[in-house]
Structure 1
Amino acid sequence: MITSLTNGRVKQLVALQEKSHVRNKERLFVAEGIKMFEEAPTDRIREVYLSKGLWEQLGAESRYGSVWEKLAECERQGIKVEQTSEEVFRRISDTRTPQGILFVAEQFSYFPEELLERAGKRWKNGGRPPLFLLTEDIQDPGNLGTMLRTGEGAGVDGVIMSKGTVDVYNPKTIRSTMGSLYRVPFAYTDSLEQVIGLLRERGVLVYAAHLKGEKYFDEIAYEGGSAFLVGNEGKGLKEETAGLADAYLKIPMEGMLESLNAAVAAALLLYQASGYVRKARLLAANS
């Protein structure tokens, strides 16, 4: 059991929680909570830490059976599982009310070209058209995490982010994904312009929510592949980035609002396109 706040491993865990350059150098991240642990791919987990209190609960309450099974699986695979004192766990945790379990995992590795190629092959072989979310300089970790979670629900093929977008392995982002981080492919790019060019080569239309939009988002027939550009929470899309889109669209607003929260806007756009594809496939199946 780790009981000292000066333990070297404690210092490393805190650094992984707080500093993106440490996470990126080590190619690791820290995730917390029972749900995040249960859903994590075991082959990505490197170390698991439990508070003394949770360890005692695990042995006393049957509702934690699935956690025991996952811990046993980790140990069978040689993954270190270690207890900590309550004081130590509070130090290594990033939450105000820790659940008593956190783990270190290996980062995922995707490339924009890989995501586009995979979706394009499926479409070419008769599957559904590609669906992508492109983000520019999103700064709020909660927004980015919600976008990944929404993307999973809408069936997105990937979230491709500008290099100015917040770190996807920020602890707040990870919590906001509610596990979607494990299942939704994502990648950073130095050039959204290059990604948009690759999308266009594959017949995927790129849409930008913009005040200059002539059509509302629910008036467009998303018949082929679609990708949606969503910009910074305060400034929106840069004009040069918006100018790369094949079409502008707008979201209807009542009251004095000019725009919606970035994650909310992304959800509306993704689900609209996803719903259109599902409806078209149902009509084709019943014709």
Structure 2
Amino acid sequence: MQNNSVSSMQNPIIKSILQLQKKKTVRRKENLFIVEGIRSIQEIPANYQVRYLITTPELALPKTPALEEKKCLVVTEEVYKAISDTTTPQGAMAVVEMPVTKLTDQNFDKRGMYLLLENIQDPGNLGTIIRTAHAFGVKAIFITKGSVDLYSPKVVRATMGSLFHLPIYIDYEAEDYITHLKQAKIPLYVTALEEAQPIYDIRFEKKMTIVIGNEGNGVSETVKQMADYKMMIPMPGGSESLNASIAASICIYEVMRQMNINI
């Protein structure tokens, strides 16, 4: 296998990677994002377009159906450390094209759970929620405009490759998603603290959407008014709130538990 070797930070591809790591505007303009780490690279499906795989000389090239040998670029350890977004680099990253996702393309199953995330700001929270949603069979995720960038390096890394395995929609307002969901007759269950039923008292419908709100402010009043049901997670220990990703995980698990019982 013949690979191009790079030892200079002035290489155009290297300079481009630095900008993709740092700036959302560049990622959106170029329609590219970075996937870093061997495991995450191996999760890239064949229908995704990989522009480049960047590795260090000592690392065996990860195998992925989306990758062709001509796209491999070997860099020195020094160059890789300079372009990596991690404190302990594994020595492998891929430059990947963003998928094109249109809300009108989403088909809704007769049975299943969907997830609407309103104004989530923490990259770790978003990544963890996506990973949990993938693990428990969520059909699709809708992320509102103004949320943390789905393709930021920290979010991508936190998903551990799960963002490749379910439809994720971004850059629509909450009202747009809700209108689309209501047209499909899918009820909305929002997390709330007032006028809400304990989650274990609710009987979820066969197809439904969980709404998780902002870490500090929760679900907006506008979305609460558009919801069909309000639910709360009882906390006998006395804490006022839960981390958004933990709250989402509890809700997703309870829905999955009920769906499995009621099959």
TM-based fold match above 0.5: yes
Distance 2:66 2:141 in 1: 33
2:209 is aligned with 1:227: yes
Distance 1:271 1:70 in 2: 31
Per the alignment, residue 74 of structure 1 pairs with 68
Q: More deviation in 207-216 or 25-34?
A: 207-216
Alpha-carbon displacement from aligned partner over 1:60-94 (angstroms, at most 9, x marks no partner):
xxxx8xx2x4499621xxx4101101110011110
Per the alignment, residue 6 of structure 1 pairs with 10
Distance 1:33 1:178 in 2: 9
SS at match of 1:52: coil
Q: Is the 8 A contact 2:45 2:66 kept in 1?
A: no
Q: Which amino acid aligns with 2:87?
A: R
Per the alignment, residue 214 of structure 1 pairs with 196
The alpha-carbon deviation at position 236 of structure 1 amounts to: 1.2
2:84 is aligned with 1:93: yes
Q: More deviation in 236-245 or 27-36?
A: 236-245
**Is the alpha carbon distance of 1:267 and 1:91 closer, same or farther for their aligned partners in structure 2, counting shifts above 3 Å?**
same
Distance 1:96 1:74 in 2: 28
SS at match of 1:142: helix
Q: Is the 8 A contact 2:50 2:94 kept in 1?
A: yes
CA RMSD of aligned residues (A): 1.8
Q: TM-score, normalised by structure 2?
A: 0.92
Alpha-carbon displacement from aligned partner over 1:78-130 (angstroms, at most 9, x marks no partner):
x4101101110011110011000001011122222322xx12xx31xxxxx13
Q: Which amino acid aligns with 1:44?
A: Q
**Is the alpha carbon distance of 1:257 and 1:82 closer, same or farther for their aligned partners in structure 2, counting shifts above 3 Å?**
same
2:236 is aligned with 1:254: yes
Fraction of identical pairs, as percent: 36
Distance 1:275 1:112 in 2: 28
Flag structure 1 segments of 5+ consecutive residues without an equivalent.
Answer: 59-63, 124-128, 282-287
- List structure 1 segments (4+ residues) > 6 angstroms apart after TM superposition: none
Q: Is the 8 A contact 2:129 2:248 kept in 1?
A: yes
The structure with more helix, counted as a fraction of residues: 1
1:106 pairs with one of 97, 105, 111? 97
1:244 pairs with one of 226, 234, 237? 226
Q: Is the 8 A contact 2:197 2:232 kept in 1?
A: yes
The alpha-carbon deviation at position 148 of structure 1 amounts to: 0.7
Q: More deviation in 237-246 or 11-20?
A: 237-246
Q: Is the 8 A contact 1:223 1:276 kept in 2?
A: no
Kindly report which structure 2 residues correspond to 1:36-47, keeping only aligned pairs within 5 A, or say none: 36-42=40-46, 43-47=48-52
Per the alignment, residue 175 of structure 2 pairs with 193
**Is the alpha carbon distance of 1:164 and 1:182 closer, same or farther for their aligned partners in structure 2, counting shifts above 3 Å?**
same
Q: Is the 8 A contact 2:198 2:232 kept in 1?
A: yes
Per the alignment, residue 156 of structure 1 pairs with 138
2:259 pairs with one of 277, 281, 287? 277
Alpha-carbon displacement from aligned partner over 1:121-145 (angstroms, at most 9, x marks no partner):
x31xxxxx13111111100011001
Q: Is the 8 A contact 1:209 1:250 kept in 2?
A: yes
**Is the alpha carbon distance of 1:29 and 1:72 closer, same or farther for their aligned partners in structure 2, counting shifts above 3 Å?**
closer
The alpha-carbon deviation at position 23 of structure 1 amounts to: 0.6
Per the alignment, residue 21 of structure 2 pairs with 17
**Is the alpha carbon distance of 1:189 and 1:85 closer, same or farther for their aligned partners in structure 2, counting shifts above 3 Å?**
closer
Q: Is the 8 A contact 2:50 2:66 kept in 1?
A: no
**Is the alpha carbon distance of 1:156 and 1:71 closer, same or farther for their aligned partners in structure 2, counting shifts above 3 Å?**
closer
Distance 2:67 2:18 in 1: 26
Q: Is the 8 A contact 2:144 2:172 kept in 1?
A: yes
2:246 pairs with one of 257, 264, 278? 264
The alpha-carbon deviation at position 187 of structure 1 amounts to: 0.6
